[in-house]
Each structure stands twice: as structure tokens, then as C-alpha cells.
Structure 1
């Protein structure tokens, strides 16, 4: 068992630049953890501290009960896949994959066996005599993965490995990655700002912002019960509707309409109301609050349409995802807001209220 533990990690550079402020996370065997967040939130710095490429200002990196914090990267049995692939251009694919084993003085027969095994699994056995300059982006990415897999490491680290691929190829390689790491049963730490990658690949997601861990949970929980306003707005496409509303008599006031507040210990003067566009529907529905407004923008998403509706008596806008073939009679429409899918956040702290 190779449980990875990150305890109170912090990294401070010169001029008081602190990309990682206090992060604690555990990753068990077979778990796929994605570090998700916008550029500059500390994802890659955290990954580099796990790999040993950056030394923490404080905190510990523990693997299988052993403190690796002061152990150099070459002596940590971890494999890292970089965004840039980092292949040796003068070496063949076979040589690129086998280099780390040769440095560890692994027997040549064992090296050949491992390289053939991993190249067969990744479908690159016919490329072993080529050089990186003769490969496509997807093929180079598979070679970079093969180089990490052949080592049989305790932990896999991946730093935005799909960002250089086009959309169609990214989807294909993403599916390959999911199957590949499910069979490895090793801790995987994956860095991305792409929420689709995070939702489809991960067994759990760590959402980071401004150097702090905002939420650590399964993809389903991150999506259905975001811990705060930032997570709610960052995860989901189209983005969640987030509106600041005044409160009166246990209702949040949206234009001419009142939305039913959940039970709260205190009665706030204002809240941030959230609802995902797919939970807003045209017409009247059961167990929903009804509002009305004017459609002023229609975006065609293919199988669906995204409507932007300005609510009567307000400058506030709600967006709704509806089926592409759904029609309505006028620019004035009724919207049903599912009470079960409403989210409420504290105006000051941004924390979830319900």
C-alpha cells in the first residue's frame, strides 16, 4: 500500500509570493485525485512539491508512512508526465521509454520485457524505432505516459498532460487514461484547469483557489453540493447562475418575485442565490418557484439552447438550458426554478448556507 499524505503544505517564494498556503490531502492506492483550479491557484507548485522539484516552506510529503519532504526527487519512486512531453529528440521511442530503467541498472532482458509490455498496452509498439520528431502530438503523449508506466512507480503525477492536444484527440486520450490508471491501482495526482477532465477522470477532486483548498470531494458532490460560491461558479458549464438577492420575510427577492429560503439559523439581510441553467425550465413545474422575464439572448449549443432572461422588475439575468426543439410564444416567458436544486451562499464569506 502506498498512501500519499500531504500535510499542511506551504510554499513561499521571494517578494512574499505564496502560491500554496496551507493544503492537506490524502490519496490512497487506486485513487485518482485531480487538482483543479484557475491559473495561478497553486496546482503545479503543489505537484512539484510532491515530486520533490520544489521544497516546501513548511509541511510534509509522506508516502507509505515515510517522510519524503527532504528526499531528492531522484530517490522518490514517482513518475511525472509533463505538459511539454519532455522527450529526448535524438533518441528513439524505445530509448526514451527505457532510459530511466537503464539509469537504475535494470537487466536488459527485463527492460525489453517492460518496454514491450507497456508499448503494447498503449498501442505504440509499431513506433519504437521512430524519433519524437516523426510522431504526432497524441503519439508523443503516449510515449511520455509509457516512460512513466515502465518504471512501475509508487505514485503517478501528471501536469496538464492533455493541454497540447486538439479537442478530438484530447477526448480519446482522456478515455485511454481512465482505463489505464484504473488498472494500475496506484495513487494518481493530476493537475488541470479543465473541469471536464476533472469530472470524467477523478475519483475525487481538490478545488484550489488563491493557494487554499476550497473543497475536497467526489466529482458528484463537487457538482451537486459546492462548498462555497467560488466552487459553485468554477465547476459547471454553462456556469451556475449566481445572484445577490435581498431577503425579506423568509424570502429572497428577485425582481417582482420571492424565492423560498431554506431553514437558516439566522435571518440574513442578503444572500447569494445559485441555480444551474439546466435546473431552470420553461413553463410551470411542480416543487419550483416561478419567475417571469424577457428573453434577450439565445445561444445555440447544438442539442440544446441557452436562454438569457432578464427578470421582470430587475436588472438580474437568469440563464436556462432547454431542448433545442422547444418553442415558446413570445419574448416574455415563465421560468420554473427547482427548489431541490437551489444553492444558497453567505454574502460575506461565500460559504454554503444549506
Structure 2
């Protein structure tokens, strides 16, 4: 039986929606939100009615009847740490999304909008594999100081969707597989996936792991500590150094990797060196988490938008192919991943988890 699902993915400056009939995409829409539109809102939460009305306008323009829906799914936001899977949006989840229990981000609106659209229909709302998926094993939580515990924040939705896709291609299941997966995008996260769980991963929002187009990754801590006490330095400035103004942005003023590659083609030696260093740091992180598998690894998977760069994936692959075979699965289709998680629940292949 084919189930009709509306998937909603709110981003910082856009809202994407799609309607699926089973695995088949019926249509997809993207609404861009300008700075002028969003600056009128005091908070992420206050954008809810604005974004919901935009979605309804697009659906009406498509002559789509909401009564056709079997479920609505939204991008999972910054909730309390939880295991991977598809979760029904509960009253407690709504409260935690509203207050931003683990922080404020546009993705917090995903579950809230899904709930508001599904309730009048008598249908259920879901989220799938939010960024706060935490499946770390005890040894992976240890930081090196008792006052600081490592936490798991990463691109869980794409990690797990890609893992399931590659597992099918290898004629097995995610739950039976042993992968190291590197999501290569504006942020970079590298995880050890063992038998259906991400048992170790760098905190992609917390100053860990490889640097990326706009994030600094792991910095020399003693040097960073000194900069914290420089005159005029603020917590906000330090945060921007880590996220938004780190990585390639700090070196070249851009997070556009196509521009960096054009510089390399024009014989820019500095661009070539920094590009190579980013690939090296990704490879080093892959090698680090590979120790969990003791040589018994099914594949290393490179995914995300930057995995479309042949130059970058070749450089990473050359450094890690001795560990295991490397599979390139470029891009990240978050709406499709949201739909797949919901379809598994509707088809009773998987049980929705309680938050």
C-alpha cells in the first residue's frame, strides 16, 4: 500500500517541502526567505506561522488536498539526546522544541509545523534522525577531563539514510553493516557506524574534527585559550571563529569550494595547500574512528555536497583506501530521508519511537 507523506525541512533561509506517494516523489517546492523577511521576527519560534502559511500557499497553488495525507514529517531539531530512528511528535517534544532545550535553530520548526498541520487531519506527525542522535559508546564519551564529556551532534539524517542506501547496494542491511561515514558539507562529521548505531563521531557543531568550508574543527587549544582573553574578544566572536567564519572562510573569505578549486586550477599554491589540508584532516578522522573495527570494516563512505568534488574525494580516498574500500555517495536529500523514515513506520517495517 502506498502512503502519502508531506515532508518539511526548514533551513536558516529557506523552507523545503515535498509530497511523496510511497517512494515516489509527487512534487517538491523550495521557498527562499530573505533577510528582510526574517529580520522582523524576534526568534526562530516566532517564524512558525509565517513559514507554515508559506507552505500552505504552495500546497494550495498545487491544488493539493491535505486530506490525502497519511502523515506529516518534519526535520528534527535540537532536542534532548536520543537514539536514531523515527519519532512521533509528542506534547513533550513540542515543549522542548518551543523552548529550544538544546539550542535554537530553524530545524526546530520542522516538528512543530508538522504537528500543527497533522492534528486537524487526525494524522500523526513525525521527525527522523535529528542532529542530536546520540549512540556513543562509553569510551567515546571520555574527553580527557572529568568536567567535560564529549557529546554527539552531527548530520545524523544523511549519515543514516546513506548507510541504508549503501547497505542495500551491498545486499545487506544497515543493522548488519560496519561503516565509517564522512558527511562532507558546510560542516563535516565523521562517524563509526557499527550494526545500526553511530558509536563514535566528532561534534560537528562543537569544535571537533576536521575543518570544513566554514567551521574550524579542532583548534590548538592552548592558542585558542589565549585568544579568549584578548582585548575586545567576546563569546559571540569566538563562536563565529568556530562556526561560520572558520575553515575556508577564515583563509579565503568564502565557503564556496568551487571558487577554491578554481584558484587551484589557476596555480594558487596557498589554495592548493589548504584544500589538501582539509582532505588530510578528513582522512585522519576516518583513520581515527576506524580503530573501532579492528580491520573488519565493510566500507568507508563519503557523502554530502562536497562528495561531488572529484578532486576532494580522490585526495581523501588516496589516504584511506588502505583501510577499506571507499564508496562515494554524493549529495544529501534530506526530504527523501525524512520520507523514507516515515514510510518505514507507516508500512510497519519499523516502530515509531517515543520521545
Instruction: State TM-score, norm by structure 1.
Output: 0.24
Pick the structure with greater CA Rg. Answer: 1
Q: Which of the two has greater strand per residue? A: 1
Q: Which of the two has greater helix per residue? A: 2
Instruction: State TM-score, norm by structure 2.
Output: 0.24
